[in-house]
Amino acid sequence: MRKTGVLSILVAVVLLAVAVAAEAQQPKKVPRIGYISSGDAARESSRAEAIRLALRELGYIEGQNIATEYRYSEGKPDRYPELLAELVRLKVDVIVAAAGVQLIRAAKNATKTIPIVMTGVGAHPVEAGLVDSLARPGGNVTGPTNLTRELSGKRLELFKEAVPKLARVAVLFDPTTSVIEVKEDLPVAARAVGVTIQSWEVRAADDFDRVLAALNKQRPVDSIYPAAARQRLLINGSRGLR
20-26: which pairs have CB atoms within 8 A and are 24 or more residues apart? 20/115, 21/93, 21/94, 21/115, 22/93, 25/93
- One-letter identity of residue 19: A
pLDDT of 18 reads 60
Give the ranges where the chain is alpha helix by DSSP (H): 2-22, 41-57, 80-89, 101-110, 152-162, 179-180, 186-193, 206-217
Give CA torsion, residues 225, 227, 231, 235, to 10 deg. 50
- Identify whether 232 is part of a domain: no
141-145 and 233-235 strand pairing:
antiparallel
Same domain, 21 and 123: yes
Same domain, 211 and 197: yes
Domain span holding position 51: 2-146
- Identify whether 242 is part of a domain: no
- Tell me the whole-structure pTM to 2 decimals: 0.60
Distance CA 202, CA 209 (A): 10
pLDDT in tens, 64-79: 999 999 999 998 999 9
The DSSP code sequence of 127-192 is TTTSSS-SS---TTEEEEE---GGGHHHHHHHHHHH-TT--EEEEEE-TTT-HHIIIIIHHHHHHH
Same domain, 102 and 7: yes
pLDDT in tens, 202-218: 877 788 888 888 888 77
Same domain, 120 and 219: no
Same domain, 8 and 108: yes
How many domains are there within the chain? Answer: 2
pLDDT in tens, 146-172: 665 667 778 788 888 888 888 888 888
